[in-house]
Structure 1
Amino acid sequence: PGPRPCDAWAREQLGAKRSSIFTPPVRPTIEGLSPGDTSSEAYREACTINQQHTGKKISKQAFFISFKIKEADQWLQAYPEAQKVVGEAHPELAFLWLKGQPLLHKKKATAGQTERMALLRQPIPDTPQLIAEARKRFLKKQVANDDLLDAL
């Protein structure tokens, strides 16, 4: 399997921020994951499996979200009817669409989070309250502020 057309399109849309789109692992890589094992050894094994199927290793970012991809995949396999209505999205594309042009600031920067919060308030007026509630439930070491904004 080669690169997914949707990833190529997303990178094209994001231009200078194209590196925020990373190629997801193939299904055999996902299936080979042990729940919660984020060790260096597990990462090397995931890279090996992915390389056997695609000729390419996976990035650390792809590895760390692989566990959530696996959960979503298992759920979609268990509920095939959901496959008709569940889609995939990328936060940076959503923010690009909301603003109509590339964002000015990096998502980890305070200015970037302020910029994203303002954009999210257009379709979701209670964004600040939702973020505050999530912050009460999750420590910053569990979920970073920019990840909360991305989740909305």
Structure 2
Amino acid sequence: MLVSFIVSIFGFLPSAFVTAANVLYFGYWEGFLLSFLGEAFGALIAFYLYRFGVRRLTPKIDSVRVRKWTDRLAETNGRDAFWLIVLLRVLPFIPSGLVTLLSATSRVSPLIFFIASTLGKIPALFIEVASVSWFIGSDAAIQWIVVGVVIVLYAAHHVYKQYRSKQKTPSS
């Protein structure tokens, strides 16, 4: 649970590896519960840390475009913020740290954030735990295929990013 907690605070570390370890060592339900509690309370602590940090940094932001964006985020609160946080947490491809950071820059209360974040995390974590359980229980050949596909996709993404950066850089 402590590792899930730390991963949630940092926000940019993938929690799937911690969830995999929890499921592997503690079983499906216990692993789910440990991951869930760690991520829920880690997100709340991260919310407070981000909110404190963002408030200290916001006056120092000179960019008009960035200030306009952060000011707009600051207007989100109440029911709109609650459902937006739930939706963003349910979507597994949106980084948790980004959801927490965006929430911390808004006017949403810590309690609303905690409830919405926790509710949204339940289905996403079930999907993650089920995927990890399937992967752990699958044949070694399938595991290697999945790992290979992930490596190829990562490499393709890296090559694409390099290509795009060269396209944006003017020739000398």
Please give the range of the TM-score, normalised by the shorter of the 2 chains: under 0.3
Give the structure with the larger helix fraction: 2
- Rg (Cα) greater in structure: 2
Task: Tell me: higher relative CO, structure 1 or 2? Use CA pairs within 8 A at least 6 residues apart.
Answer: 2
Q: TM-score, normalised by structure 1?
A: 0.28
Q: TM-score, normalised by structure 2?
A: 0.26
